[in-house]
Amino acid sequence: MIHDERKLVEKLNFEIDKRKKLEEKLSYEANHDHLTKLGNRKSCFENFENITKTLPFLLYFDLDNFKIANDKFGHKTGDKVLVDIAQSMCDSFGQNNCFRLGGDEFIAFSKAYPQDIELLRRTLLEPILEFGVGISIGVAKAEDGLTPDEIMHLADENMYKDKAHKIIRHQSRT
């Protein structure tokens, strides 16, 4: 009888471990982008306030000409571009501080305002230069009284200003 009870306990422990692993897997999948392995939009907003306590600068990234590169080189290469950008961001900001919002938009949190945006841009783009993709960057500081949506909106607006300035700088003068 004791032998049978031990077997039952072993079986129950096995089932409990199996269930815990499944719960961990489902939680990971619910909070991470399957392609880049970065946290997703949901995870970003759930962790926003805790992250900004120590990393108050939000950097908003948007890939320029990604659709053109994706169409020209194919979706497999497009996926590689996204994975390579994600890795560059992790190298610069740390895995837990980077998120993919969707498509070709990313967020990273930083302790300080980047000293040299152009150097950051070149560093992030280094692995994907051959595909003609650029990156626009907007920065906002998490200030008291601002909601995560408001901070993200400010960074997004600054990113579009950066994108507009790059277009003006690269237009030929006649």
Per-residue pLDDT tens over the stretch 142-157: 998 999 999 999 999 9
| pLDDT (0 to 100) of residue 174 | 39
Query: What are the distances in angstroms from CA 45 to CA 29, 48, 107, 147, 152?
Result: 16, 5, 11, 10, 10
Q: Which CATH number fits domain 33-170: 3.30.70.270, 3.40.50.20, 3.40.50.1000, 3.30.420.10?
A: 3.30.70.270
Upper half-sphere CA count for residue 129 (Cβ side, 13 Å): 5
Q: Is residue 139 within 8 Å of residue 40, measured between CB atoms?
A: no
If 0-12 CB within 10 Å is exposed, 13-18 middle and 19+ buried, where does residue 36 land? Answer: buried
Show me where the domains of the chain are located.
1-31, 33-170
Per-residue pLDDT tens over the stretch 107-141: 999 999 999 999 999 999 999 999 999 999 999 99
| pLDDT (0 to 100) of residue 167 | 57
Task: Write down the pTM of the prediction.
Answer: 0.85
